[in-house]
Amino acid sequence: MSALIAVYRAQFALSLSNWFAYRVGMLFWFLVRIVEPLIYISVWGAIAQSNSGTVGNFTPGDLAAYYIALMIANQMTFLGLIGLWGYRVRTGALSSYLLRPVSLLHRDLANLLANKAITAVFIVPAIFIMALLFQPTLILSAVNIIGFLFALVMAFLVRFLLESIVGMAAFWITRMDAAEQLYAVILFFFSGRIAPLVLLPDWMQTVANGLPFRWILSFPVEVMLGRLSSQAMLTGFIVQGLWLVFLLVSLPFIWQACLKRYTGVDG
């Protein structure tokens, strides 16, 4: 364990320096990603104003709070692993990683933790700016904040394992573009990004409850906004835990099948 911690520390420091080397590109990437919540807040706010001041049980202030919280959850859990796995397998770059003593998953995790440390620095001023522009209706409590942070960590881990497993489809699929786009579309509709799930048709809510995507984005947001009862919050944590265990158990079997399939050479 101490050796693994040392590896994480070294990889984290290396990844942090690499991210800072491309800070202009990283800043541009971040600015592009905050455009989405700005658009949604403006559009849904306008709809609410034209509909007696509410959409469902959301006021414009509620919608602003929702999409600001969603921005935080999405930024802190966004990974981009599916395309990365496709590149590694397609080019043969995976071969050199297989010769190293530490699992590639540990390297990816340390790299992403470094990315999230930098993302947290950028996201704080974005929150303040959006709060000044849209005046969200939000009453924070210690329970909601702690619950949100715990749900966010669980969501990050579930998304990391899920996207790693989906990315491993590259061992069977030559080009991962279609698979990556399909994943993005499903995530978009069933994670609460397009709209709060309670505003969607009942059948979509039912499907969302059975998929991991709600528990990756919508659930942490609902916890932060205090829109869940204590029982619903506990149930959500249990579901996140079940998904995490399921993915952890599935990963070794899938990885072994991938290794048997792999025939690439280092490019």
Residue 267 belongs to a domain: no
User: Residues 91, 82, 153, 140: is their CA dihedral positive or negative?
Assistant: positive
Residue 58's DSSP bridge partners are: 55
pTM: 0.89
Can you tell me the distance from the alpha carbon of 95 to that of 149, in angstroms, rounded to the nearest whole number?
Answer: 36
Number of domains in the chain: 1
Sign, Cα dihedral of 181, 182, 183, 189: positive
**Assigned domain for 199 exists:** yes
Three-state DSSP state, 93:
coil
Over its length of 267 residues, how does the chain's per-residue pLDDT go in tens digits?
666 677 777 777 777 776 666 666 667 777 777 788 888 888 888 888 887 778 888 888 899 999 999 999 999 999 889 989 988 888 888 888 888 777 888 888 888 888 888 888 888 888 888 888 888 988 888 999 999 999 999 999 999 999 999 999 999 987 788 889 999 999 999 999 888 999 899 999 999 999 999 999 999 999 999 989 999 999 999 999 999 999 999 999 999 999 888 876 554
Domain that holds residue 109: 2-261
List 55's β-bridge partners, or say none.
Answer: 58
